A = this chain, B = another copy of it.
Amino acid sequence: MSTPLTWGTPHPERADAARNRQLLLTTARELIAADGPDCLTMDRLAERSGLGKGTVFRRFGTRAGIFQALLDDNERALQQEILSGSPPLGPGASPVDRLIAYGSARIRFLAENHEVARSAVEGRPTSGRRPPLSQIHIRVLLRELDLPGADVDLLAGQLTSALEGPLLLRLFDGPEVDGSALTDRFEAGWRYLVERVCVPAV
C-alpha cells in the first residue's frame, strides 16, 4: 500500500523507503510525460526504476495506487498553502472566505491533475478509500462556523461530493476542456453553494 500522507500529522518514513518512494514517483512522472498515463504499469515502473516488482507492489498495491501516490504528492503544495500560506487560502480569513478559496484552489488543482486523478480512481475497489483532503479541511472550517442544526460531519461529506463529483465527471467524461472557462464556472458554482449553506439568513 502507498504511504498515506496523513493530513497534519506526517507519517515518519525510513530514509531508504523515502528515497525509493521519490525514485518511483519521479520515474512514474517521466513515464507519463513520455507515453501518457495509460502506458504506466506496475511492471514498467519496476523495470524503469530498477527496483524489484515486489517493492513496487508493496509500495502501491495496485496500478491505481501509483496514481493515488502521485496525486497525494502533487497535493502537498496545496496542503502547505492551507496550513501556512497567505489568507484566504491560508489561515487568517473567515471560515466562509476560506471555504470559497479552498474550493477554487481545489477546482484548479483537479483540472490540472485530472488525468492522474482519473487513473487513481479507475479499477480501484469502491471500498477502502480514505477521506480526501477536501473533506478534512471542509469539516474543520464548518466546525468554526458553528451552523445551527447542522450535522457537520455529514455536511462536510456532502460539500466535498458537491465540490469534486460534478467536476470530475465533467473532466473525465465531457468534451475537451477549455481550462479557464470550465474552472470559472465551477468556482462560481462552489461560491454560490457555500454562501447559501454557510451564510446565515438574516
Contact = CB atoms under 8 A, between A and B. Distances in A.
A149 interface: yes
A166 B158 contact: yes
Nearest to A117: B126
A126 B192 contact: no
A6 B23 CA distance: 49
B125 A155 contact: no
A150 B122 CA distance: 32
Interface stretch (A9-17, A70-78, A79-87, A182-190): A182-190
A165 B169 contact: no
Nearest to A172: B126
Total identical chains: 2
Interface stretch (A31-39, A52-60, A89-97, A193-201): A193-201
A18 interface: no
Q: Bin chain A's interface residue count.
A: 35 or more
B192 A151 contact: yes
A198 to B, nearest CB: 8
Contact of A150 (B166, B186, B192): B192
Contact of A166 (B127, B154, B199): B154
Interface string A156-190: 01111111111011001100000000000110110
18 contacts: A122-B126, A126-B173, A127-B172, A129-B173, A149-B192, A151-B189, A154-B166, A154-B189, A155-B189, A157-B165, A157-B166, A158-B163, A158-B165, A159-B162, A161-B162, A161-B164, A161-B166, A201-B202
